Structure 1
Amino acid sequence: METEPKFEMGGLSLTPGALNLLDPEEVLNSLNRHQRGDWGDCDHEDAQANDLALVEGTRVFSVYHDRRDQKFWIITEADRSMTTVILPEEY
């Protein structure tokens, strides 16, 4: 796995649910993975779309689970101005 960031993430936002339920250390670890092209638990199609997004400059979307198996998403906007950590039910 590459250790260099693959894209800029812009500002960071956590939704209320993500802020209340997720461990900050796990969020930070997942943000690092996201920026380095480790798309977590994305299916194959979404992972391919993310790889293409790095070339085309479109939205990047990763899926992770914390140690309690709470699913959360990390979404970086196409213009790379903002990255959001969000629970699926908040989308």
Structure 2
Amino acid sequence: MTALKSKRAFSLGKLNMTRGVMNCVPAMDIWHAVKRHAECDWGDVCEEDWGLNAASLEDDSRLLSIYTASNAKRFWIITEWDRSVTTVLLPEEY
């Protein structure tokens, strides 16, 4: 899926990372993924979730991205509906 450039920017709010991400995902992979998330490149989400994210930019719902690190560890980035917090976490920590 190609990245869609949004006409509407969103705030990441406070950036949080779980202990699992800090222990298992290389730091540069995290930062590259956060940048992609902020640019509305949702990574490996399915087509349905890609569409939900596009709608979320209009109705201020939660945003979800899924990425795979260079060490093959999958991780998520979630920005809450009110844009106050963005959390980087492992799926099993959800």
CA–CA separation in structure 2 for the residues paired with 1:75 and 1:89:
14
The offset of 1:69, in angstroms, is 1.1
Which residue does 2:85 correspond to in 1?
A: 82
* Distance of aligned partners of 1:5 and 1:56 in 2 relative to their CA distance in 1, 3 Å threshold: closer
Amino acid at match of 1:69: A
> TM-score, normalised on structure 1?
0.93
1:5 touches 1:35 (CA, 8 Å); kept in 2?
no
Instruction: Flag the 1:65–1:30 CA change in 2: closer, same or farther, 3 A.
Output: same
**1:27 pairs with one of 30, 42, 49:** 30
Separation of aligned partners in 1, 2:8 and 2:58: 14
Matched, 1:49 2:52: yes
Provide the secondary structure at the position in 1 that maps to 2:43. Answer: coil
Give the root-mean-square deviation of aligned CA atoms: 1.7
CA separation in 2, counterparts of 1:86 and 1:41?
15
* Aligned length in residues: 91
Selected match of 2:20 from 13, 17, 24? 17
- Identify unmatched segments of 5+ residues in structure 2: none
Greater than 2 Å deviation, 4+ residue runs: none
Amino acid of the structure 2 residue aligned with 1:54 = L
Counterpart contact for 2:79–2:87, Cα < 8 Å: yes
CA deviation profile, 1:5-58 (whole Å, cap 9, x unmatched): 821100010011001111111101000000111000000000000000000001
